[in-house]
Homo-oligomer: A and B are copies of this chain.
Amino acid sequence: MKIIVDAMGGDRFPDEIVKGVADASLAGTSRFALVGDTELLKKSLEGLKHDPSAIEIVGAECAVTMEDDPMSILGSKRNSSMSVGLKMLKTDGDAFVSAGNTGALFTGASTIIRNVPGVKRAAIATLIPFERPILLLDSGANVNVLPEYFIDWAHLGSLYSEFVLGAGNPAVGLLNNGAESHKGGAMLAGTYALLEKEEGINFVGNVESYDLPGAPCDVLLTDGFTGNVTLKLIEGLSVYFFRTMKHLMTETVFTKVFSAPLSGKIKSMKRVFDPTEYGGAPILGLRKPVIKAHGHSDARAITAAIRQAEAFVMADVTGMVIKWAAKGETASES
């Protein structure tokens, strides 16, 4: 398969992105298009162990920065690596990976790749790595929502959770401020009522944020604002906890010596909360797979995002979404 990678996105472009692709090329499973500043990418690739026959460099005039307005991808940045990559995906390629500006990527993907007919809004799905991992969607793209969007997302999330992440009969929860069905105001109460009677969805009811670390669900639905606040709070608190722990453990020579055997264990616990470990967040509902890699992605994170893109393509989740949405379209026409 062919995976297109935006080489100019994230905090560590282009070197870490190029290295991630170089490493991935050695597996021999995919071909890659690296999109960005040709000279810069050639130089970055030099000296890296890679399969030259599997990597093609595609030039792009400029790059979307983290500060750029999301709409710039359709205007002043229409010749950026992100935009060129998305246009390439439309005609040639199986998936697109970018660690760049989330808003621009979502806007570009929704406009250039477009939604599967019948899907009202695409959504960004992020895996939260608790013991029972939770796929949270929407995790940042749609601030204004309607109950119908949640129904689409329940199906999109369930398909991805089952066929890419391997959850059997995925349980779907609704993030809310209480367990009762009327909670959260008219929009969420209306969503609850629709989810309860939606066929093909294993709806397990409202989930409160207190219970997130042990929540009995595989897919958790929320609006993009709450999703963003939730994910960034988990990230920020993790950093805070581990920093405080480290401080406690190295405060004196005494605690330093005694806590040494623990530090390896804490490192492995920390890894569970490191978003760059988990590849990227798929944008679900599009006509072709697009993966948002974390902005801080290093080479290993890019390789992980590429693996995720491969799994996304292999499972043909997009094909299943098209089939599911077509049924809905036919039903609503009849």
* Interface residues, chain A, with chain B CB atoms under 8 Å away: 130, 140, 143-144, 175, 177, 184-185, 208-214, 224-226, 228-230, 232-241, 244-245, 248-249, 251, 254-255, 258-262, 265-266, 269
What secondary structure prevails in chain A residues at the interface with B? helix
15 new A-B contacts, CB < 8 A, other than A244-B269, A258-B260, are: A143-B177, A143-B185, A177-B224, A209-B230, A209-B236, A210-B236, A214-B240, A225-B226, A226-B226, A233-B233, A234-B237, A245-B266, A248-B269, A254-B261, A259-B259
The answer to whether B262 and A144 have CB atoms under 8 Å apart is no
Partner of A262, one of B143, B175, B229, B258: B258
The answer to whether A236 and B255 have CB atoms under 8 Å apart is no
Contacts A184-B143, A237-B213, A241-B241 given: A249-B262 contact, CB under 8 Å?
yes
Partner of A258, one of B235, B259, B269: B259
Task: Report Cα–Cα, A100/B6, bound state, in Å.
Answer: 54
Residues from chain B with a CB closer than 8 A to the CB of A210 are 232-233, 235-236
Closest 8 CB pairs of A and B: A210-B236, A213-B240, A209-B233, A210-B232, A177-B228, A143-B185, A209-B232, A209-B229
Residues from chain B with a CB closer than 8 A to the CB of A265 are 248, 251, 255
Residues from chain B with a CB closer than 8 A to the CB of A209 are 228-230, 232-233, 236
User: Closest CB of chain B to A93's CB: distance in Å?
Assistant: 30
Residues from chain B with a CB closer than 8 A to the CB of A245 are 245, 266, 269
Task: Report Cα–Cα, A208/B211, bound state, in Å.
Answer: 22
User: Closest CB of chain B to A304's CB: distance in Å?
Assistant: 21
Residues from chain B with a CB closer than 8 A to the CB of A239 are 213
The answer to whether A262 and B255 have CB atoms under 8 Å apart is yes
What residue of chain B has the Cβ atom nearest to residue A234's Cβ?
Answer: B237
User: Closest CB of chain B to A134's CB: distance in Å?
Assistant: 12
Task: Report Cα–Cα, A175/B211, bound state, in Å.
Answer: 22
Residues from chain B with a CB closer than 8 A to the CB of A235 are 210
The answer to whether B177 and A229 have CB atoms under 8 Å apart is yes
Residues from chain B with a CB closer than 8 A to the CB of A230 are 209, 229, 233
User: Closest CB of chain B to A121's CB: distance in Å?
Assistant: 14
What residue of chain B has the Cβ atom nearest to residue A251's Cβ?
Answer: B265
What residue of chain B has the Cβ atom nearest to residue A236's Cβ?
Answer: B210
